[in-house]
Chain A
Amino acid sequence: MTATQASAAPAAEPILELDDLDVVFTTESSKVPAVRGVSLQVRPGETLALVGESGSGKSTVALAAMGLLAGNARATGRAVIDGTDIVGADEAGLAALRGRTVSMVFQEPATALDPLTRIGKQIAEVIRNHGDVSAKDAAARAVDLLRRVGIPEPEKRAAAYPFQLSGGQRQRVVIAMAIANDPALLIADEPTTALDVTVQAEILDLLRRLAAETRTGVLLVTHNMGVVADFADRVAVMYQGRIVETGTVEDVLLRPSHDYTRRLLAAVPRLSVAEPDGRAPAGDPRPDDGSGGGDATAPVVELRDISVVFGRGKRAVHALDGVSLVVRPGETLGLVGESGSGKSTAARVALGLIPPTSGTVSLFGADLARTRSRARRALRSGIGVVLQDPVAALDARMTVGECVAEPLRVHRRGLSAQERRGRVEAVLDRVRLPRDIVRRAPGELSGGQRQRVSLARALVLEPRLLVADEPTSALDVSVQESVLKVITELQDELGFACLFVSHDLAVVQQFARRVAVMRAGRIEEQGLTGETLLHPETDYTRRLLAAVPVPDPVVQRGRRAERLATLAAGRTGAEA
């Protein structure tokens, strides 16, 4: 499925052909063009990746190709699938095409399935939409499909409801529905964005295998350049509704010709990997600046043998199990792990928001369990917090100025209104936001601006510790880059320590001096980032690192082969 193979069969008619496609959304006040003059082709057996940042129009293109645009959207131009123009086709004609000739895999497996219908029945529905198949035969074929997408015990699982499956398994069910009638074209809209990296690697392997088996054309919509490098033959880059560059995956990712593509790729955090031949790693992890990072200094926060148990009896969940962590003044500790590994719980224990079931937390040298309300509040004023979702973290009814001033009102009651205003303006300067932003509502700001407001609020009390829980995972890479840069500069300037929780190993590698890898409530290993993430000691960390796709198609091809070989060896080893 490489580019050379695809070009070896140039005679194949494209299965999807977009020709000068425009999409306009009508809102109450205006008409917003989302897609402008997009033309592209997908041929049988090839994967075209449509990449771009949020708002670039890439998902709108995918939905337009399915005829699934929202009611206030109008498409013009041509979108031809297997000879049928989707633009202007009637609903009956579209229904006959969808699920048979073209199918779609969606981003959010948690909500993509009907919660009240058994998964086998939902797959059977797609089969019966397009053929005179008895309910019994359709059910049997649904079980076969579940087996094909790698669901264990498919006969039993067919009777399960979506909530009984993990996120990765749900996405497999959505894929089973999509391939039920062997479509000629598969449109995948961010199919792995909601999944952990190891699950992402499995789902990409599955899609690749299925597409190769049936020579299905794939339109892959994604923002993740690693996924592109792993999966695509050709790439189209979208920016503000237009395609700015199209080419083979090697050309676009390694030799980008358009300025925007170059900027986009430069902002992607790259995971440095130890080369097998012992060459120096490609990237440059953040050097140890030595500013108080020595092990001799008293820790800012220390978790000692912490366990957290939610619930009791048979239903008890051990969220943390014997976790010990230290963050020293001025240093950044990265806390990484997959969803459910306990990294956010550990951060909340450090904040004193979750009392540990056993173990001790000391914050700035004081045992948190022994401090009472007033002293504890004083301790807490030394911590700033930035959370993942910049929309939910700010009160939409407050102005930006009120949001940032709130910690001062709570912890620095002696300040006059004027002093307070002065401090708010100073901290807004620090996070590079204009001062006149104070009167605006958080809803009027972009995601990156909002996250900087969160950061300003976290820093207004000049904390000694910043706890950042996935502060950039809701942001585009270029915005992520600027937010991380601001945090780094301020840390050098103000000298606060940072507990940085993230699922993104590449970001942690760039940002943190030390790293702790978590798995199922335990710390798998911890050490200096430069060592632990380059030469991991445990198999789990190695597997985690191997699953991260790097945005270089040549390197990624080698990594994939290596990962699959390791997995195969592990499998035969286990069977032996």
Chain B
Amino acid sequence: MSTPSYLIRRVLQAVAVIVIVTIVVFGLLHALPGGPARGILGPQATAQQIARFNHEQGLDQSLPVQYLHYLNQLLHGDLGTSYTLNAPVSRLIGERLPKTLVLTVLSLVIGLLLAIPLGMWQAVRRNRPADYVITTLSLIAYSTPVYFLGLILVLVFSQVLPWFPSQAPQGQSLAQVFSEPQALVLPVATGAASMVAVFSRYMRAATLENLSEDYVRTARAGGSRYGAILRRHVFRNSLTPVISMLGYYLPVLFGGALVVEQLFNYPGMGLLFWSAAQASDYPVLLGCVLVIAVATVVGTLLADIVQRIIDPRVKAGRA
């Protein structure tokens, strides 16, 4: 399939997925007990107050009508108004999304830069003590809940060894965030640790598989040195499965950000989502979920496109 028609098809698919996500989330949130009126007006509110609130907010209309209304606003860039913060959701998200992106992208890049060489190195030194030690450590990091991992990092590198602050940068703008780089270290390290654990294992397995492929033997028979074979052939072949995994891993990263932001009191999307969930702030919740869904869909799309670039067989429909 030619590249433009492939892109058009994939983008249409992506839009369809996002629409389905909005329907599902909208339906789920409205099925929750209590409803937003009770959440906002409190347990003392009378039935009339609740009815008036529901009428003002359009919550007494049928669900499909509410959904279409929501979708219409969405197309105009209007994500609604927060019940609790009295501000447009788009502005709330607009303020916080860049900070979450900084956190996740830094965790992702640093995590991959460590995981990929580590995984390859482990594969080359497979079944030797160093490999066993790293495999055990990454298994521990992999199976430890993110908040617990973060707490340990805070305990060790903030309490016992006073190297880094235990609170993330509190500044409103990105410039302010970057003005305290030492405060970013622990949140990013927490996010990156699980990345390293997961992706070094993928990379180790993919490298091991490729090292036993026939083409490695052919390259050796042609007089290529081991290091050159790793660099020129095994690296790229091992990277393709890791990249496709990466696309699916984006929602996990956002989930991690939720915990990390809560733990380090970092005012990003995760913290916004957290407080909105506690206050039944539907417009904010829907907005956050929508942003995460779009990011996930775009992430998988990017992963597929990168895959097409480095593996010519994908484009030809052979793999």
Report A's interface with B, CB cutoff 8 A. 66, 68, 91-92, 95-100, 103-104, 106, 108, 111-117, 122, 125-126, 129-130, 161, 163-164, 174, 177-178, 180
A residues less than 8 Å from B312 (CB atoms): 116, 161, 163
> In the complex, what residues of A have CB within 8 A of residue B214's CB?
106, 108, 111-112
Considering the complex, which residues of chain B in the window 221-242 have a beta carbon less than 8 Å from any beta carbon of chain A? Answer: 221-226, 232-233, 236-237, 240
Instruction: Establish whether residues B222 and A103, one from each chain, have CB atoms under 8 Å apart when the complex forms.
Output: yes
Contact B222 A99 (CB under 8 A): yes
Residues on B with C-beta less than 8 A from A174 are 218
Kindly state the separation between the CA atoms of A456 and B174 in the bound complex, as whole angstroms.
74
B310 touches A116 (CB 8 A): yes
Distance to closest chain B CB from A131 (angstroms): 10
By a CB distance below 8 angstroms, the chain A residues around B226 are 91
A99 & B223 in contact (Cβ 8 Å cutoff): yes
Contacting A at CB under 8 A, from B192-250, are 213-215, 217-226, 232-233, 236-237, 240
**Is A129 a contact partner of B222 (Cβ separation < 8 A)?**
yes
Q: Please measure, in the bound complex, the distance between the C-alpha atom of A91 and the C-alpha atom of B228, giving whole angstroms.
A: 13
Q: How far is the CA of A126 from the CA of B225 in the complex (A)?
A: 11
Q: A112-B215, A116-B310, A164-B316 are in contact. Are A95 and B225 (CB under 8 A)?
A: yes
Question: Which of A91, A99, A164 interacts with B221 by CB under 8 Å?
Answer: A99
Closest CB in chain A relative to B253 CB, distance in Å: 27
A164 surroundings in chain B (CB, below 8 A): 316
Q: Is the CB of B224 within 8 A of A129?
A: yes
Complex Cα distance, B228 from A122, in Å, reads: 12
Q: Given A103-B221, A126-B224, 5 more contacts at CB 8 Å?
A: A98-B222, A112-B218, A116-B233, A125-B224, A174-B218
CA distance A112 to B219 in the complex (A): 9
Secondary structure of the B contact surface, majority rule: helix
Question: How far is the CB of A84 from the nearest CB of chain B, in Å?
Answer: 13
Complex CA–CA separation, A259 to B225 (angstroms) = 44
Select from chain A the residue with minimum beta-carbon distance to B317: A315
Task: Report if A163-B313 is in contact (Cβ < 8 Å); known contacts: A116-B236, A125-B232.
Answer: yes
Q: Are A115 and B313 in contact (CB under 8 A)?
A: yes
- Is the pair B222, A114 in contact by a Cβ cutoff of 8 Å? no
Is the C-beta of B9 less than 8 angstroms from some C-beta in chain A? no
Q: Is the CB of B223 within 8 A of A96?
A: yes
B311 CB contacts on chain A under 8 angstroms: 115-116
- Taking CB atoms and an 8 Å cut-off, the chain B residues in 276-319 that contact chain A are 310-313, 316, 318-319
Enumerate chain A residues within 8 angstroms of B240, measured Cβ to Cβ: 116
Distance of B94 from chain A, by nearest CB (Å): 41
A40 to B36, CA, bound (A): 88
* Whole-angstrom distance between the Cβ of B297 and the nearest chain A Cβ: 27
A163 touches B318 (CB 8 A): yes
Q: List 29 A-B contacts (CB under 8 A).
A: A68-B217, A68-B220, A68-B221, A91-B225, A95-B220, A95-B224, A98-B221, A98-B223, A100-B223, A104-B218, A104-B221, A106-B217, A106-B221, A112-B218, A114-B233, A114-B237, A115-B237, A116-B233, A116-B240, A116-B311, A117-B233, A122-B219, A125-B219, A126-B222, A126-B223, A129-B223, A129-B224, A161-B312, A163-B313
Given contacts A98-B220, A161-B313, A163-B312, contact A113 B215 (CB under 8 A): yes
Interface centre among A116, A163, A177 (most CB of B within 10 A): A116
Closest residue to A127 on the B side, CB-wise?
B222
A91, A114, A122, A125: residue with the most chain B Cβ atoms closer than 10 Å:
A114
The 8 Å CB contact of B223, one of A97, A111, A117, A163, is: A97
- Tell me if B223 and A95 are in contact (CB < 8 A): yes
Q: Which 3 A-B pairs have the closest CB atoms?
A: A99-B223, A126-B222, A99-B222
Cβ contacts under 8 Å, A96 to chain B? 223
Alpha-carbon gap, A96 to B310, bound state (A): 31
Give the residues in chain B near A115, CB-CB below 8 Å: 215, 237, 311, 313
- A443 to B224: give the CA distance in the assembly, Å: 37
Identify the closest chain B residue to A115 (Cβ).
B313
Is the Cβ of A111 less than 8 Å from the Cβ of B221?
A: no
Chain A residues with Cβ below 8 Å from B223 are 95-100, 126, 129-130
Q: Which residues of A contact B319 (CB under 8 A)?
A: 163
What is the chain B residue whose CB lies nearest that of A161? B312
Q: Are A114 and B215 in contact (CB under 8 A)?
A: yes
Q: How far is the CA of A115 from the CA of B319 in the complex (A)?
A: 11
Nearest A residue to B225 by beta-carbon distance? A95
Which listed residue, B213, B233, B236, B313, touches A111 by the CB 8 Å rule? B213
Residue in chain B with minimal CB distance to A91:
B226
Q: Are B215 and A180 in contact (CB under 8 A)?
A: no
Q: Which of B2-37 contact A (CB under 8 A)?
A: none
In the assembled complex, the Cα of A406 lies from the Cα of B226 at a distance in Å of 49
**In contact, A66 and B224 (Cβ under 8 angstroms):** no
Quick one: which of A100, A115, A117, A122 has the most chain B CB within 10 A? A115
In the complex, what residues of A have CB within 8 A of residue B213's CB? Answer: 111
Q: How far is the CB of B212 from chain A (nearest CB, A)?
A: 9
Could you tell me the distance in whole angstroms from the C-beta of B1 to the nearest C-beta in chain A?
10
Partner of A66, one of B219, B221, B237: B221
User: For the complex, what is the distance from the CA of A245 to the CA of B279, rounded to whole Å?
Assistant: 88
A42 CB → nearest B CB, Å: 17
When chains A and B are docked, how far (Å) is the Cα of A125 from the Cα of B220?
11
Quote the shortest CB–CB distance from A143 to chain B (angstroms): 17
Please measure, in the bound complex, the distance between the C-alpha atom of A380 and the C-alpha atom of B6, giving whole angstroms.
43
CB of B218 within 8 A of CB of A113, answer: yes
In the bound complex, what is the Cα–Cα distance between A103 and B218 (angstroms)?
9
CA distance A562 to B319 in the complex (A): 42
- Nearest chain A CB to B100 CB, angstrom units: 34
A114 and B219: CB pair below 8 A?
Answer: yes
Chain A residues near B237 (CB-CB < 8 A) = 114-116
Residues of the B chain whose Cβ atoms lie less than 8 Å from the Cβ of A106: 214, 217-218, 221
CA–CA, A111 and B210, complex, Å: 11
Q: How far is the CB of B314 from chain A (nearest CB, A)?
A: 10
A333 to B236, CA, bound (A): 48
Most buried by A among B218, B219, B220: B218
Q: How far is the CB of A113 from chain B (nearest CB, A)?
A: 6
**How far, in angstroms, from A200 to B223 measured CA to CA in the complex?**
27
Could you tell me the distance in whole angstroms from the C-beta of B163 to the nearest C-beta in chain A? 43
Contact of A177 with B218 in the complex, beta carbons under 8 Å: yes
Q: Please measure, in the bound complex, the distance between the C-alpha atom of A50 and the C-alpha atom of B214, giving whole angstroms.
A: 22
What's the nearest-Cβ distance from chain B to residue A203, in Å? 16
Q: Which of chain B's residues has its CB closest to A174's CB? A: B218
Q: Name the residue on A nearest B233 (C-beta).
A: A114
B218 and A180 contact, CB distance less than 8 A: no
A498–B59 alpha-carbon span in the complex (Å): 73
* B6 smallest CB distance to A (angstroms): 15
Give the distance to chain B from A137, nearest Cβ to Cβ, in Å: 17
Query: Is the beta-carbon distance between A163 and B316 smaller than 8 angstroms?
Result: yes
**Which of B217, B219, B316 has most A Cβ within 10 Å?**
B219
Distance (whole angstroms) from the CB of B315 to the closest CB of chain A? 10
